Amino acid sequence: MSKTILITGASSGIGKATAKKFQAKGWNVIATMRNPEKENELTSLENVFITKLDVQDLTSITSAIEEGIDKFGKIDVVLNNAGYGILGTFESVARENVSRQFDVNVLGLFDVTRAVLPHFRANKSGMFINISSVGGKTTFPMMQLYHATKFAVEGFSESLQYELEPIGAKIKIVEPGSIKTDFSGRSMDFQHNDELTEYNEFASGVMNIFEQLMSSEKRNSPNLVADVIYNAATDGTNTLRYVAGPDAEHLLKARKTMNDAEFLSMMKNNLNIK
Ligand code: NAP
């Protein structure tokens, strides 16, 4: 019998590439998104069930899971992928935007996980694959809130693996580097209040570097991440972390081998920050 994956944020980028990868490998795919009525690519694929799931809306989470199980009988893997990032000086970000950043990237992921756990417990099997980031271990300036959410995903996932073992389930973390998706456009929330003049020079320097990085042709394809996710789902190991992309490998290696002062100084030099 074919296996089934449920994906959050399957409308674009890594989520959509992963939906196509698993479908091509013969899996059933529950491709969830906030606005399924706008989807016109995955709709043509066999064994792909498209349904609404907004990670900020508990009712939509439970109904997407129920509909998916009704359709395919079982969920084997859940890809917690939905997410976005705030780029800005911390003082510029209103509390409600701080909340939304955590609601989507952290509490939303918790809610999907909690809603699927009874199914995994009943089946004595199942796997969560949580999309963290190279930014779940290292930091870029002006992304303090985004990093805080991804560091949270790392800690949550690593601790959860202990209690998943006795119920027969697994968890894996995927850490992509810079990937060519809508993340740096539509999914990036820019927030800097330039009345906070003391930050302006720093903020415009960081924004320039960010724009260069995000328009770089060196960014990897979301298909590379989809391949890593497929490998994580099927390699039969208990490996916890999977790094996706040579840039992420390079940066995470530097983070491991350098002390804080060395690493931060290397980052400032590379990013041309005084
Ligand atoms: P993307 O193409 O912009 O995809 C983001 C997805 O998240 C979209 O499908 C978006 O849906 C969805 N989403 C946002 N808020 C949501 C909500 N409340 N409920 C459900 N879905 C929601 O960017 P991406 O790069 O593929 O991002 C996917 C994941 O990869 C994110 O967790 C991101 O942090 C992580 N990541 C990305 C990079 C990168 O360089 N691109 C690197 C490391 C990690 P809508 O279409 O409805 O907006």
Q: Tens digits of per-residue pLDDT, 192-234?
A: 999 999 999 999 999 999 998 888 888 999 999 999 999 999 9
Compute φ and ψ for 149, nearest 5 degrees.
-70, -40
CA-nearest residue, atom 36 of ligand 1: 133
Give the mean pLDDT of 132-137: 98
Rounded Cα distance between 53 and 164, Å, is 24
Ligand 1, atom nearest to 132 Cα:
44
* 60: CATH: 3.40.50.720
Q: Which of 137, 150, 170, 172 is catalytic?
A: 150
Annotation says 146 is catalytic: yes
pLDDT over 80 at 274, yes or no: no
pLDDT over 80 at 255, yes or no: yes
Give the mean pLDDT of 247-265: 97
Give me the pLDDT at residue 215, please. 86
Q: Are the beta carbons of 72 and 128 closer than 8 angstroms?
A: no
Q: Are the beta carbons of 12 and 34 closer than 8 angstroms?
A: no
CA-nearest residue, atom 33 of ligand 1: 83
Rounded Cα distance between 147 and 135, Å, is 6
**What is the dihedral angle through the alpha carbons of 95, 96, 100, 102, rounded to the nearest 10 degrees?**
30
31 lines ligand 1 (CB under 6 A): no
Give me the pLDDT at residue 83, please. 98
SS3 86: strand
245 lines ligand 1 (CB under 6 A): no
Give me the pLDDT at residue 98, please. 98
Give the mean pLDDT of 91-112: 98
Rounded Cα distance between 18 and 36, Å, is 17
CA-nearest residue, atom 11 of ligand 1: 9
68 lines ligand 1 (CB under 6 A): no
CA-nearest residue, atom 16 of ligand 1: 82
225: closest CA among 5, 13, 3? 13
Residues of the chain above pLDDT 90, percent: 94
Q: Which of 16, 133, 137, 146 is catalytic?
A: 146
Global pTM reads 0.98
pLDDT over 80 at 34, yes or no: yes
Domain of residue 265, residue span = 4-270
15 lines ligand 1 (CB under 6 A): yes
Give the mean pLDDT of 257-271: 96
Both tokens assigned to 51: 């349904």
Number of structural domains in the chain: 1
